[in-house]
Structures are given as structure tokens and as C-alpha cells.
């Protein structure tokens, strides 16, 4: 079954399709909604930041409880699926084989799932929570433990459970049911062939918006950090002009990568990211407080496991504070809005994995690597603050984007490591942009995996433009609001996706069982026929 626009025309594209080959009911509504938000941001000027702040507060104050529930549903659902009777179902069928080694698969999972965000927040967030924890006195050992527990919560199993649900759903319906690799396909068990109509168009349009604004948030965070790093290291003025200039330059590089495609562009840069990040992590572990990092990693993990139920269901009901909206709710909305891109990427590299292998692989390994990263950077930063060494806390309060660079000043080769950090952020910037462009291309072209080059360039440029306008119009608040606003309706889609995936897996399981019965019946029939033949042969002899 194919939706409109899925099949690639034979031969070379001609005319307008040489540059654009769009699925109009998704492409144009997405463009109109994106343009409306951009135009309103420009027209409101200085009022934009206040408006974004009001929208963010309204959503988090009234819908925060909903985000808390749905993210916990995703982690329970993904574990249920993994250990249920569906766990042995293979993506692509029983005879499907993996396209990548297990180590390569894990490397790509980590590269896709965290990206720029882990560079921006790995030092800043633990220090924020250490200085101003929601349920402890700031600057104490209790605050330090709580800071790492909360950081693990925001970057650990809950985030990856969202990706697991989306990636597994997309991969299952694409590889096992023969549907396009598109969000509408996931809802086939519920609405059948109506995924070809307006219902499917609405689903894919929301996926485009969630992806675009989730990417814009990450790109904006990356630009803020690169700009701050250039000022800190080289003395460049950290202002909006430098930030927009960085967006223009990096969007140009990302456009070139998109033109080269997945194998020559995205894959090469992703592998480069992993190598640089691994070296960066090893350097910090061995020049930093090595024993403390390993000790705290173990203790932090234990503290997280023992407190995860409390923190994951905490909603500030009795505290009367507004801490959660700026942190936990923002993260849940950010991961949800980021999930179309990450989920589709994970789905494309996971053919041949069983459901259990997929879920546990996506949940556990990237989370453990993230925990180690956060302990190495964030835990070391807290250790420095507790020892009275450095001014990381002051940097976080003054300009959060400089936290990583102030942290690196405390160790040898600070100039070299700061430059490496900037290069790594820029590299994550490029891979996020070009990978996101390819995902949006697929959604707006009706499920095609190879959209025309002109269309790829268009979306790469659009992502940069949206990030730049949101930064100019409202800074970090605008970026956070964009994620939360698109994350809320998309959370509803993901809930329905859980039900749809369960129905699809039930059908697949029944078909597999029937196939086994048919094979057994055929085998039994052959055995009986062989026995009869042998008896007749014995009689003749």
C-alpha cells in the first residue's frame, strides 16, 4: 500500500520535480504555519519575548501534569513491549538481517539522540541544580546528589523511551507492514486507508512542525554556546549579529552535507562526531578528578534509581514553585518535539533487530553513556564548586552558554580543548540540521526517501532561518516555547501511536503463530506421507 506521492518516478526528474517533488497537503500547510509564526515574531518585536514567556507559562502551568503522565506512560509501555510475547518479533521479518554492527548501531543512537544539547547542558544543568535545587538547600552535599539525580532524570531512560516508542513504531510499520516510512503509516491499524487522506496529512504536518521547532531549539542552543565560546576564547563580541552569522555559516555547511546525501554527508559527519566526543570524554576523565568521576558515576546512578519514581511523578503540588516548568516540562516537550527526527533516524538503522533488542538497546546503552558524560562534566564541575576552585557557578548565573568553557579552564590545554569543544558543537550543529532536513524532506514529499536536491536545500535553509528568527525575536525563551508548543499536541499523537503499535504487533504475532502452525502442519503431513511410503515400500519388499 502506498500513499500519494510515495512512488519515485522512473528515470530522471523533469521540470519542477527536478528541484521540488512535494506532497502538497503536507508541504503547504506546514509552510503556512511556519511562516505565520515567523511573521508574528517579527511583527511583535520586543513584545515577542513576553508573549513567548506567557505561552510557555500557560502550557506548563495547565498542561505540566499531562507531560509528566505521558512520558511515564512511554517508559512503561516500551518496557512492557520488550518483555511481552512481542519481544522476539524482528523488524523486517524473521529473515531480515541487520545493516550495521551492534557497536556502530550504538554509536549512531547516541549521536542522533543527544547532539548539541549534551554539550550545552552537561556542565550548566548540574551546576544550576546544585546552586538552586528544588527540594534541598543550595550548595550542600544533598544538593549535589539531587542535582545529578535530576540531570540523570532529564537525560536518561525517560528521554530514550520517547525515542524508542517512535522509532519502533516507524520501523515496524515500514519494515514489517510495507508502509511508507512516515508518521501517518503508524496509524494504519486505527484508520486504515484513510491515512492516504486528510487525517494522514494532519499527522505528517504536525510531525514536520515538531521536528522543525525541535531542531530550531537545538540549533539555537548550539549557536548561543558557540558564540559565547568564541568570545571567551578569542574575544569576539557575543551579540545577536555574531549568532546570526554563525547560523548562516553553519547552515551553509549543513546544506552542502544535505546535497551529498546520507552516505557521503550525514554518515561521515556523524562518525566524526562520535570520534571527537569520545576523545573529549576520555580527556576530561583522565585530566580531571578521575577517581571522583568513577565513584560519583556509581553513586549518581544508585541515587537516580532510588529517586526516579519520586522525581518522575513530582509536579510541585505542595511547594508552590515554578521550577519544574523551566526544567522537567521543557525537557519532556523538547524530547517529544525532537522524537520525529530521532525516531525516524533510529528506525532507518534498526532493520533486523528484534523488538526486545531494539527497546533495551535504545533505552540502556545510550543512557549509560549519557550518565557517564554527565558525571564526567557535570559531576566534576560540582566537585570544583564544592572545593572552592574556579568560578563555574558565577559563569552559569551570568551566561549559561559559557559554563563549558569556564569549566575547561580548570584543566591543562584549555585553549586546545575549548577549540575542540567549539568544533564538536559545530559538527553536532551540522549533523542535526542535515539529518533533520532529510527527515522533513521525507514527510513533505509523501514518504520518499530521496527527495530532490532543491527540496533538501530548501529545508536546510528554512531550519536555519527559523532558529535565527526565534533567537532575534525572543532568545532562549522563544526556543523553549517553540518546543513546548509543538510538543503538547504531538504528545497526544504519541499516545495514540502506542495503541496503534500494540495493535500492529498483535496482528504480526498472530500471523507469525499461524505461519508456524502451517509449517508444523505441512511438516507433519510430509512425515505422514513419508511413513506411508515407507510402509508400502516395506510391503513390496
Cβ atoms of residues 128 and 134 within 8 Å? no
> What is the domain partition of the chain in residue ranges?
34-530
The residue-averaged pLDDT of 364-393 equals 91
pLDDT by residue (tens digit) across 102-140? 877 887 777 666 666 788 899 999 999 999 999 889 999
Roughly how many angstroms between the first and final C-alpha of the chain, as a whole number?
Answer: 57
Q: What is the CATH number of domain 34-530?
A: 1.20.1740
The residue-averaged pLDDT of 144-154 equals 96
Q: Write the CA distances from 63 to 60, 312, 478, 481, integer angstroms.
A: 5, 15, 18, 13
pTM metric for this prediction: 0.86
Average model confidence (pLDDT) across the chain? 84
Residues 6+ apart with CB under 8 A from 51: 44, 474
Cβ atoms of residues 61 and 324 within 8 Å? no
Q: Which residue has the higher pLDDT, 201 or 11?
A: 201
The pLDDT score that the predictor gives to residue 127 is 96
The residue-averaged pLDDT of 71-100 equals 92
DSSP 354: B
Q: What is the dihedral of CA 318, 304, 489, 497, to 10 degrees?
A: -130
pLDDT by residue (tens digit) across 157-181? 999 999 999 999 999 999 999 888 8
The residue-averaged pLDDT of 13-31 equals 75
pLDDT by residue (tens digit) across 322-347? 888 889 988 898 888 788 878 888 88
pLDDT by residue (tens digit) across 92-105? 988 888 887 887 78
pLDDT at residue 448 above 70? no
Measured CA to CA, the distance from residue 100 to residue 33 in angstroms comes to 38
In DSSP terms, which residues pair with 354 in a beta bridge? 90
Nearest CA to 497 out of 188, 256, 264 is that of 188
- The dihedrals phi and psi of 49, each to the nearest 5 degrees, come to -60, -40
SS (H, E, C) 401-468: HHHHHHHHCCCCCHHHHHHHHHHHHHHHHHHHHHHHHHHHHHHHCCCCCCCCHHHHHHHHHHHHHHHH
Measured CA to CA, the distance from residue 347 to residue 78 in angstroms comes to 15
Cβ atoms of residues 447 and 5 within 8 Å? yes
The pLDDT score that the predictor gives to residue 240 is 86
pLDDT by residue (tens digit) across 199-215? 999 989 988 887 887 77
The residue-averaged pLDDT of 23-28 equals 90
* Angle at alpha carbon of residue 439, lines to 435 and 443, rounded to 5°: 165
The burial class, CB within 10 Å (0-12 / 13-18 / 19+), for 15 is: exposed
- In this prediction, what percent of the chain has a pLDDT beyond 90? 38
pLDDT at residue 3 above 50? no
pLDDT at residue 350 above 80? yes
pLDDT band for 2, please (50, 70, 90 cuts).
Answer: very low
Helical residues (DSSP H) of 92-133, grouped into ranges: 102-113, 116-131
The residue-averaged pLDDT of 359-372 equals 92
- The dihedrals phi and psi of 410, each to the nearest 5 degrees, come to -80, -5
Cβ atoms of residues 124 and 282 within 8 Å? no
3-state secondary structure of 176: coil
pLDDT-wise least confident of 321-335, 387-401, 470-484: 470-484
pLDDT at residue 37 above 90? no
Q: Which residue has the higher pLDDT, 391 or 281?
A: 281
The pLDDT score that the predictor gives to residue 355 is 96
The pLDDT score that the predictor gives to residue 39 is 81
Residues 6+ apart with CB under 8 A from 43: none
The residue-averaged pLDDT of 38-42 equals 76
Nearest CA to 203 out of 32, 350, 66, 29 is that of 29
Measured CA to CA, the distance from residue 151 to residue 375 in angstroms comes to 10
pLDDT at residue 379 above 80? yes
DSSP notation for 14-58: -GGGGT----HHHHHHHHHHHHHHHHHHHHHTTHHHHHHHHHHHH
The pLDDT score that the predictor gives to residue 132 is 92
The pLDDT score that the predictor gives to residue 359 is 96
pLDDT at residue 263 above 60? no
Measured CA to CA, the distance from residue 40 to residue 58 in angstroms comes to 18
3-state secondary structure of 148: helix
pLDDT at residue 58 above 90? no
pLDDT at residue 7 above 90? no
- The dihedrals phi and psi of 327, each to the nearest 5 degrees, come to -120, -80
Q: Which residue has the higher pLDDT, 521 or 324?
A: 324
pLDDT band for 145, please (50, 70, 90 cuts).
Answer: very high
DSSP 377: I
Measured CA to CA, the distance from residue 219 to residue 337 in angstroms comes to 14
* Angle at alpha carbon of residue 50, lines to 45 and 52, rounded to 5°: 90
The pLDDT score that the predictor gives to residue 540 is 66
- Residue carrying the nine cell digits 549568532: 243
pLDDT band for 65, please (50, 70, 90 cuts).
Answer: very high
The pLDDT score that the predictor gives to residue 161 is 96
SS (H, E, C) 218-263: HHHHHHHHHHHHHHHHHCCCCCHHHHHHHHHHHHHHHHHHHHHHHH
pLDDT band for 293, please (50, 70, 90 cuts).
Answer: very high
pLDDT band for 12, please (50, 70, 90 cuts).
Answer: low
pLDDT-wise least confident of 179-183, 258-262, 344-348: 258-262
Nearest CA to 162 out of 313, 340, 355 is that of 340
- In this prediction, what percent of the chain has a pLDDT beyond 70? 87
Cell numbers describing residue 480: 523553549
Diameter of the chain measured on Cα atoms:
102
pLDDT at residue 285 above 90? yes
Amino acid at each position: 500500500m502506498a500513499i500519494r506521492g510515495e512512488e519515485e518516478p522512473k528515470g530522471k526528474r523533469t521540470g519542477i520535480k527536478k528541484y521540488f517533488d512535494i506532497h502538497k497537503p503536507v508541504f503547504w500547510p506546514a509552510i503556512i504555519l511556519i511562516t505565520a509564526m515567523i511573521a508574528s515574531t517579527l511583527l511583535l518585536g520586543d513584545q515577542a519575548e513576553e508573549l513567548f514567556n506567557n505561552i510557555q507559562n500557560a502550557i506548563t502551568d495547565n498542561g505540566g501534569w499531562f507531560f509528566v503522565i505521558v512520558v511515564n506512560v512511554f517508559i512503561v509501555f516500551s518496557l512492557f513491549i520488550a518483555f511481552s510475547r512481542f519481544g522476539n518479533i524482528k523488524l523486517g521479518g524473521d529473515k531480515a538481517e541487520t545493516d550495521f554492527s551492534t557497536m556502530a548501531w550504538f554509536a549512531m543512537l547516541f549521536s542522533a539522540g543527544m547532539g548539541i544539547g549534551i554539550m550545552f547542558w552537561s556542565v550548566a544543568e548540574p551546576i544550576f541544580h546544585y546552586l538552586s535545587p528544588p527540594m534541598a538547600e543550595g550548595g550542600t552535599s544533598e544538593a549535589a546528589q539531587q542535582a545529578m539525580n535530576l540531570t540523570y532524570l532529564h537525560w536518561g531512560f525517560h528521554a530514550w523511551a520517547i525515542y524508542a516508542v517512535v522509532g519502533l513504531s516507524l520501523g515496524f510499520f515500514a519494515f514489517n507492514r510495507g508502509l511508507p516510512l512516515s508518521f501517518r503509516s503508524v496509524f494504519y491499524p486505527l484508520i486504515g486507508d484513510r491515512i492516504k487522506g486528510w487525517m494522514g496529512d494532519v499527522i505528517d504536518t504536525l510531525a514536520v512542525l515538531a521536528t522543525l521547532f525541535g531542531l530550531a531549539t537545538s540549533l539555537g542552543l548550539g549557536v548561543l554556546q558557540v558564540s559565547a565560546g568564541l568570545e571567551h576564547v578569542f574575544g569576539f563580541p557575543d551579540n545577536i549579529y555574531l549568532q546570526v552569522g554563525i547560523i548562516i555559516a553553519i547552515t551553509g555547511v549543513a546544506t552542502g552535507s544535505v546535497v551529498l546525501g546520507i552516505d557521503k554527508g550525514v554518515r561521515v559527519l556523524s562518525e566524526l562526531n562520535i570520534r571527537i566526543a569520545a576523545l573529549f570524554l576520555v580527556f576530561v576523565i583522565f585530566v580531571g578528578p578521575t577517581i571522583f568521576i568513577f565513584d560519583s558515576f556509581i553513586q549518581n546512578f544508585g541515587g537516580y534509581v532510588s529517586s526516579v519514581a519520586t522525581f518522575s511523578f513530582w509536579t510541585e503540588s505542595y511547594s508552590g514553585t515554578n521550577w519544574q516548568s523551566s526544567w522537567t516540562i521543557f525537557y519532556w516537550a523538547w524530547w517529544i518535539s525532537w522524537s520525529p527526527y530521532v525516531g525516524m533516524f533510529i528506525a532507518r538503522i534498526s532493520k533486523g533487530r528484534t523488538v526486545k533488542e531494539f527497546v533495551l538497546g535504545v533505552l540502556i546503552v545510550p543512557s549509560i553513556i549519557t550518565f557517564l558524560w554527565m558525571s564526567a562534566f557535570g559531576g566534576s564541575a560540582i566537585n570544583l564548586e564544592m572545593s572552592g576552585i574556579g568560578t563555574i557557578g558565577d559563569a552559569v548565573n551570568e551566561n549559561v552558554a559559557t559554563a563549558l568553557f569556564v569549566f575547561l579552564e580548570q584543566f591543562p590545554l584549555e585553549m586546545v580543548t575549548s577549540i575542540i569543544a567549539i568544533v564538536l558543537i559545530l559538527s553536532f550543529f551540522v549533523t542535526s540540521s542535515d539529518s533533520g532536513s532529510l527527515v522533513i524532506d521525507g514527510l513533505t514529499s509523501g514518504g520518499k526517501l530521496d527527495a530532490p536536491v532543491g527540496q533538501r536545500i530548501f529545508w536546510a535553509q528554512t531550519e536555519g532561518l527559523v532558529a535565527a528568527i526565534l533567537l532575534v525575536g525572543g532568545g532562549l525563551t522563544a526556543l523553549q516555547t517553540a518546543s513546548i508548543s509543538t510538543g503538547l499536541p504531538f504528545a497526544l499523537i504519541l499516545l495514540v501511536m502506542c495503541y496503534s503499535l500494540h495493535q500492529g504487533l498483535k496482528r504480526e504475532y498472530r500471523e507469525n503463530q499461524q505461519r508456524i502452525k502451517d509449517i508444523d502442519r505441512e511438516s507433519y503431513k510430509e512425515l505422514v506421507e513419508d511413513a506411508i511410503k515407507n510402509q508400502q515400500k516395506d510391503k513390496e519388499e
